[in-house]
Homo-oligomer: A and B are copies of this chain.
């Protein structure tokens, strides 16, 4: 079970221009095989299906709590897409062709289906699907998978960063490179406890440090790469048996934090009459307001 909070992990800048093709590329990080939908659902199913939760509590706590963080990652990438699509069309009568931009862009779904917002699909428009979830039940194999998945996700993030200098995309990626890096190390440490093999020694994969990415540096400077959260008021403290010692890259002490980060406000998006979204006229809106008040007054 979860509680939800109307917050987002970090503030994202409001863009000064629409960037639909870059938004289309960012979809890969949301709904691609190595996107956040995949990390969320892998860990969610692995935690539901975990065998011997008590006996292997630190490991159960690890995949359970990271699940919660991944919800926030999906949210962050989705909002990035949304912000990058702001301003791609203009309000006007249908006959003025206000969505004309969409016709030559890479992702027509953004214009025809979704009113310039994100979708659970990748950069080529292929829907995210359940075959992207791996859950063998074998703990070593599942952790090995997760380690690989996070390295793959890191690679894709690095490349999308290199594809666009859009400031919203880069802010998001800088942050997620740091947080993804935490998960890479966490799964490596979990594997070390069980197997004795220290996979942190092959990090980073690919072999380029986060600090080589402009927007990642400030998050590392804040120590965000050293923290693992329980994402709970009461549970998942067993991660402290895994997340301890020092960070393999800078040797600084690792830290478990109960609960979740403070977060930032969720962006709001203005209505787009040309997209009929939300599609309620000013007078209808006032009428709805009165109705809600009247009924509240009963």
Contacts and interface: CB of A to CB of B under 8 A. Distances in A.
A46 to B, nearest CB: 9
A197 B194 contact: no
Interface string A36-67: 01000100110011111111101000001101
A77 to B, nearest CB: 9
A162 B97 contact: yes
B4 A139 contact: no
Contact of A130 (B1, B53, B120, B284): B120
Contacts of A3: 2-3, 5, 68, 231-233, 259-260
A138 B155 contact: yes
Interface residues of A, number: 154
Interface in A231-267: 231-236, 241, 244-245, 259-261, 263, 266
B99 A78 contact: no
Nearest to A7: B1
Interface string A96-115: 01111011101111011111
A156 to B, nearest CB: 5
A126 interface: yes
Contact of A45 (B118, B270, B280): B118
Q: Which of A114, A162, A266 has the most CB of B within 10 A?
A: A162
A272 interface: yes
Given A25-B102, A45-B119, A114-B49, A4 B138 contact: no
Contacts of A121: 130
A24 to B, nearest CB: 7
Contacts of A269: 49-53
Nearest to A214: B95
A144 interface: yes
Given A55-B285, A141-B205, A272-B51, A68 B2 contact: yes
